[in-house]
Amino acid sequence: MADQFIEVDKLRDTLRESLGRDDKRQEDISRPDVLTRIESVIQTIVISVSEGEAPVLRVMNRSTWDNVRFHESVGLVQKTDVPVRTLRCDCPSSATRFALTLKLLSVIYKLVQSDSYATKRDIYYNDPQLFGSQTTLDSILDDISCMLKVPRRSLHVCATSKGFISGDLCYLEEDDTKVDCSSSSTAVPVSSNVNGIRNIVSSAKFILIVEKDATFQRLLDDAFCTRLSPCIIITGKGVPDVNSRLMVRKLWDTLNIPVFALVDADPYGIEIMCIYKYGSRSLAFEAHSLTVPSVLWLGLLPSDIQRYRVPEETLIPFSQADESKINSLRTRDYISCQPAWEREIETMQRLKQKAEIQCLASIAPHFLTRVYLPNKLRYGGWI
């Protein structure tokens, strides 16, 4: 068993040698600074009103690829000359958004001033008719974070985590609660306040990001963390929430060990992996705190479908949506700069088939945990 991590250890040493190059993690903004930035926004509005003008708010346009650029050692970062959207109080199309933004700024100001915290759901359910939907509130919160140039955690608004984590890991929450993730059969919810985590203790050799909860549960049921101990596995249960991404970044910053991704061999699985690795358009302004560009693709590789002779009946034909998504992926700079990834995507597009991780069970019930992953890790089968 001692030699099963030789290639992983070599990778770890290589990654550690490259640490510090262009790695500028976004620092927390002090409470007085956050308050000052909010006051500056309100002051601008007051001045406009006093001069008889209709007040406006200017927010960044976070929904287009034109406003982000790819930085190889950081991921997707926001351009400095991003066009802004103007929210006018006297315009029917933006008046509601203008008012809701001011309302949320008021809530945030009170939270920061009193050094207290609230979840996004707390704020929404305090007045659900006002915001209309949780999605609207979430979007406005991101707009405010981007407008103020303040990371969301510094706004004292938390999100309920949907991710889970398990493996060789212990830490203290901000309230001194000790969390032990080492149970082989159950997982621990990802903290809602990742920034407050401290005293992280782990002997893990690697971190494995698992795309789907079903696969994560299968790894737990097969005692994967015990069989390939020491390691850490984490899932964001599909498209990852911010806390799951923060947790992966926190562990990488603290432990400096390889981070692998286990996703379905389909365009959406690849995109989810890229969110962990390079970030997303909408949160590009927080890239330094959310991305882990060292993430490596462990599986399921499209080439593995042929290599392991996965039964044809377990494969799924491409849909039109899959074709559109894979064409979109191939235009992105973070794909074109990685020839090995490009070849795998070309293989998938040529076959016009996709495969879920669960298809490996058609080879043998425990093939994933007892053959596929151990061999990948032993022989360096990542890209």
Q: Report the candidate in 208, 272, 288 with the shortest Cα–Cα distance to residue 238.
A: 272
Backbone region of residue 60 per phi and psi (left: phi > 0; alpha: psi in -120 to 50; beta: other values)? beta
CA angle 124-129-132, nearest 5°? 70
Cα 365 versus chain centre, distance: 30
User: What residues have CB less than 8 Å from 57, skipping those under 6 apart?
Assistant: 41, 45, 86, 87, 98, 101, 102, 147
Measured CA to CA, the distance from residue 204 to residue 211 in angstroms comes to: 20
Determine the residue type at 122: D
Determine which helix (DSSP H) or strand (DSSP E) holds 275, and give its type and residue range: helix 267-278
Measured CA to CA, the distance from residue 179 to residue 181 in angstroms comes to: 6
Determine which helix (DSSP H) or strand (DSSP E) holds 316, and give its type and residue range: strand 316-317
User: What residues have CB less than 8 Å from 26, skipping those under 6 apart?
Assistant: 151, 286, 288, 289
DSSP 337: T
Measured CA to CA, the distance from residue 43 to residue 52 in angstroms comes to: 14
Q: Report the candidate in 87, 126, 108, 93 with the shortest Cα–Cα distance to residue 37.
A: 108
Between the two ends of the chain, the Cα-to-Cα distance in Å is 23
Q: Report the candidate in 175, 227, 167 with the shortest Cα–Cα distance to residue 201.
A: 167
The catalytic site residues sit at 125
Q: Report the candidate in 222, 245, 280 with the shortest Cα–Cα distance to residue 165.
A: 245
Cis preceding-peptide flag for 128 (omega within 30 of 0): no
